Structure 1
């Protein structure tokens, strides 16, 4: 009897530990597909009438082969594009759609204001602070994973690195 009590206690401890781990990953707002860790996909609240929004995320590749982010969706948008912001040789900030972003083996890439980011175009819903919206991220090798984008405050702590650049003219894409 004593041995079965210890086995039950161990099983209960294991179950409690697993609940703690599951709760921690829910708080961390992360997702995984293959060898890739997708950390905290987020967007910013948009003003009333906005037709575009941007999305950001950190992707860590724990594998020994590079992979490539090739597509992203968001249920708030009619279509999406992956964009790159860069400063040209004249010091002018430019933005353009790209075919994908390479995630190096054993490395990471952060889609963030002022760099690579996702553009949610033809908005069908308005992202509001404190809410989340569903989406997917598709990688060449790891495949597709369902994610949720957390919506943060307009102009919050993770503000644009591009000197207040907004995405107001993306409606022409």
Structure 2
């Protein structure tokens, strides 16, 4: 009988371990995520941002972001260079142990590009953050991120505006 085959049992157990979401085991990523939200988008909009406060228990590096809502997920930095606001993708973001790193509008943030459908206010989008430790071992944190038009109260620093969108990012 197939159930008595030790290889089949081992494969089933390994599959269960590898597919268990980090939310069920938050210690797997050694990161606390607070205040996560994604900016709602409209039909035809190809990109939007997501924001969160991350606090690592040990030094980690955020090296990836994935969501089924978009073909591309990236870590972005937005900053002034002279009098021009520039946005660029980063290959990673260091998270020092015990220090909160805030990804927020107008600064460091997550960018979802080539949206598969508009992100509708009041829904949630699954997001997986990928981290590496000093030895290069990867861990993941799976989040359900609420979609909102604006930052939650107290979730956006004073003086920071909305997330800049390329042409076509506004409703016509």
User: If the length of structure 2 is used for normalisation, what is the TM-score?
Assistant: 0.70
Matched residue, 1:67: 60
Matched residue, 2:146: 150
- Looking at structure 2, the residues matched to 122 and 40 of structure 1 have their Cα atoms a distance apart, in angstroms, of 24
Distance 1:121 1:35, change over 3 A: same
5+ long unaligned stretches in structure 1: 1-25
Structure 1 stretches (4+) deviating beyond 4 angstroms?
154-165
Give the counterpart of 2:111 among 112, 119, 126. Answer: 119
Distance 1:115 1:150, change over 3 A: same
For residues 54-92 of structure 1, the C-alpha deviation after alignment (integer angstroms, 9 at most, x for no partner) is: 1111101223xx11100001111011111001122x232
- Looking at structure 2, the residues matched to 32 and 153 of structure 1 have their Cα atoms a distance apart, in angstroms, of 31
What is the 5 A alignment of 1:24-173?
33-63=28-58, 66-88=59-81, 90-141=82-133, 143-154=139-150, 163-164=161-162, 166-169=164-167
- Looking at structure 2, the residues matched to 170 and 98 of structure 1 have their Cα atoms a distance apart, in angstroms, of 23
Query: What SS does the aligned partner of 2:83 have?
Result: coil
- Looking at structure 2, the residues matched to 155 and 47 of structure 1 have their Cα atoms a distance apart, in angstroms, of 17
Higher Cα radius of gyration: 1
For residues 83-112 of structure 1, the C-alpha deviation after alignment (integer angstroms, 9 at most, x for no partner) is: 001122x23221111111111112110110
